[in-house]
Structure 1
Amino acid sequence: MSSKWQPLDSMARYGTISRFLHWSMALVLAWQFASAVAHWLFEDTTVEGFLWGTHKIVGTLLIALICIRALWSLYNRGHRPPSLNIPAQLGHLAMYVLMLIVPLLALVRQYGSGRAFEPLGIPLMPGFEGGSIDWMTAPGNLLHSWLGWLLLVLIVGHVVMVFVHRSRPRDEDVLARMLGNRQN
């Protein structure tokens, strides 16, 4: 891996900041899916209690990271490694959209439930008296989980395609672009 500090992206590789955001989001998403799997498979256990207890806080971090990453991507537009093809572009777009929509559905559902939301003691949403607001809670109840699992399928496909490209002699090694060990 290159030790050279390159904050901005280039046509050959992603810069240090883009790589940091990418791998940070990979870790955050891995934690989120671990908490969801624990909630699904290990209900009412210590493992579920620990992991699931972090799900909303980590989801809030995910929203912040995706917003920062989207702004950073716009700033670097035109200076990034080119996409390999249209399916790769569409796959990345779908992942970005889901990474934003899935937690936003949860936030809207949280607000519509009337319960306060204060991750790490930071008041993001006040609670309110009365019943829940159905038009705010229904989309999250219906779609949050399903779209989250769809996002996981896309992420697994993303990882598989990285190794497919690495194994084909004529394909570009896209992992090298995200590890930073390429020359400018």
Structure 2
Amino acid sequence: MTTKNTAQQWGSVSKSLHWLIALLILALGIVGLVMGEFPKTPKYFWIYTMHKSIGITVLVLVAARLGWRLYAGAPEPVPGTPGWQERVASLTHWLLYVMMFAIPLSGWLYDSASGLRPFKLFGLVEMPKLVAPSESAAQVSHLIHEWGFWALILLVLGHAGAAVFHHVHQRDATLTRMLPQGWLSTPQKESA
């Protein structure tokens, strides 16, 4: 398998970044939904720091993924894909990128505007504050962070649902070309 994308297939770099980012977002979502319930112990603050650190990591990985996509291109649509599906897929991909930037940035902005002491990325590097303490900025950024997560969930469900639809109903390679090689074979279309 090639590292760079081809006209028919996502390369190993794109696949690796895609699935790593997906797993990290899943972990962040699960932790984000339950961390408010934890008692305010030292472990609580460690969990918050890890949530913030992994969020910044996702931000960096998404920037790398976008840069790689601009450099390496993207596979052409699977032959036979209707034009409207291509347009919806393209719009969905770009909206996913917007949300994957907006959510960690709004979290960082929320942390900055809340007036909390700076957090250290994985306990090592102090992260700069993006803005001075501001209650209104904290409220707006928190709303973007929270509701952006739910919007991202809807986009991901649509994205994954479309890939499964292509695999099961349209019986094409849309799903298999993003999976690790050999995980799933492309179903063969039935001949008429």
Q: TM-score range by the shorter chain?
A: 0.7 to 0.9
Alpha carbons of 1:138 and 1:12: their partners in 2 closer, same or farther (altered >3 Å)?
Answer: same
Alpha carbons of 1:126 and 1:26: their partners in 2 closer, same or farther (altered >3 Å)?
Answer: closer
Alpha carbons of 1:38 and 1:113: their partners in 2 closer, same or farther (altered >3 Å)?
Answer: closer
Give the residue type in structure 1 aligned to 2:91. L
Give, in angstroms, the shift of residue 135 of structure 1. Answer: 4.8
Give the residue type in structure 1 aligned to 2:23. L
Give, in angstroms, the shift of residue 157 of structure 1. Answer: 1.7
Name the residue aligned to 2:190: none
Give the residue type in structure 2 aligned to 1:178. M
Gaps in structure 1 of 5+ consecutive residues: none
Could you say what secondary structure the match of 2:22 adopts? helix
Which is further off, 99-108 or 133-142?
133-142
Could you say what secondary structure the match of 1:177 adopts? coil
Give, in angstroms, the shift of residue 141 of structure 1. Answer: 2.1
Give the residue type in structure 2 aligned to 1:10. T
Q: Which of 37, 44, 49 is the equivalent residue of 2:38?
A: 44
Rounded to whole Å, the distance in 2 between the matches of 1:51 and 1:155 is: 25
User: Retained in 2: the 8 A contact 1:117–1:127?
Assistant: no
Whether 1:117 aligns to 2:130 is no
Alpha carbons of 1:8 and 1:127: their partners in 2 closer, same or farther (altered >3 Å)?
Answer: closer
Gaps in structure 2 of 5+ consecutive residues: 183-192
1:106-134 Cα offsets, whole Å, 9 max, x none, are 11122222331211221122699xx8224
Give the residue type in structure 2 aligned to 1:160. G
Q: In angstroms, what is the RMSD of aligned CA positions?
A: 2.6
1:22-37 equivalences under 5 Å are 22-37=18-33
TM-score using structure 2 length: 0.78
User: Retained in 1: the 8 A contact 2:167–2:175?
Assistant: yes
Whether 1:58 aligns to 2:60 is no
Name the residue aligned to 2:143: 142
Give the residue type in structure 1 aligned to 2:59. I
Rounded to whole Å, the distance in 2 between the matches of 1:127 and 1:143 is: 16
Rounded to whole Å, the distance in 2 between the matches of 1:13 and 1:148 is: 29
Give the residue type in structure 1 aligned to 2:119. F
User: Retained in 1: the 8 A contact 2:109–2:130?
Assistant: no
Instruction: Tell me the matched-pair count.
Output: 170
- Percent sequence identity over aligned pairs: 25
Give, in angstroms, the shift of residue 52 of structure 1. Answer: 5.0
Give, in angstroms, the shift of residue 166 of structure 1. Answer: 0.5
Alpha carbons of 1:108 and 1:53: their partners in 2 closer, same or farther (altered >3 Å)?
Answer: closer
